[in-house]
Amino acid sequence: GQSLEQPSEVTAVEGAIVQINCTYQTSGFYGLSWYQQHDGGAPTFLSYNALDGLEETGRFSSFLSRSDSYGYLLLQELQMKDSASYFCAVRDRWDTGFQKLVFGTGTRLLVSP
């Protein structure tokens, strides 16, 4: 089977740094992605890691360790607008050979003043 685990909720204050962890168990692995979703909105793509290490995009960074089946999203200099749900997603393959994304259940980040 496939499973992705991430904390259900994380709280932090403006200006702080927060890390959202994701551990996964999947039959195949072709990369770990992160998506952000504000309440009532659509998920939007944040980052993608295919190889081990850290990828940085502005205030957001994402890390992957394939040997540990583990990744995290790091958000720095938190702003109120970062309050949202964050989903990790593993890219795997269907039997048809087509790629698929399997999503975690999401982490709700609450940023307070």
Partner 1 sequence: NAGVTQTPKFQVLKTGQSMTLQCAQDMNHNSMYWYRQDPGMGLRLIYYSASEGTTDKGEVPNGYNVSRLNKREFSLRLESAAPSQTSVYFCASSVPGSSYNSPLHFGNGTRLTVT
The residue to which tokens 């039997």 are assigned: 95
Question: Residue 88's beta-bridge partner residues?
Answer: 34
- C-alpha distance from residue 87 to each of 35, 40, 96 (Å): 5, 15, 25
Q: Which of 58, 67, 98, 113 binds partner 1 (CB under 8 A)?
A: 98
- Does position 87 interact with partner 1 (CB under 8 A)? The reply is yes
Total Cβ atoms within 10 A of residue 32: 29
- Does position 51 interact with partner 1 (CB under 8 A)? The reply is no
Nearest CB to partner 1, comparing residues 34 and 72: 34
The Cα 19–Cα 60 span in angstroms is 10
Indicate the SS3 state at residue 43: coil
Backbone angles phi, psi at 94, to 5 degrees: -75, 170
In the region spanning residues 53 to 82, those forming contacts with partner 1, defined by CB under 8 A, are none
Least gap, CB of 28 to partner 1 (angstroms): 11
- Does position 45 interact with partner 1 (CB under 8 A)? The reply is yes
Q: Which of 23, 50, 70, 74 binds partner 1 (CB under 8 A)?
A: 50
Question: Residue 10's beta-bridge partner residues?
Answer: 109
- Does position 100 interact with partner 1 (CB under 8 A)? The reply is yes
Using CB under 8 A as the criterion, which residues of the chain lie in contact with partner 1 when the complex forms? 4, 8, 30-31, 33, 35, 41-45, 48, 50, 87, 91, 94, 96, 98-101, 103-106
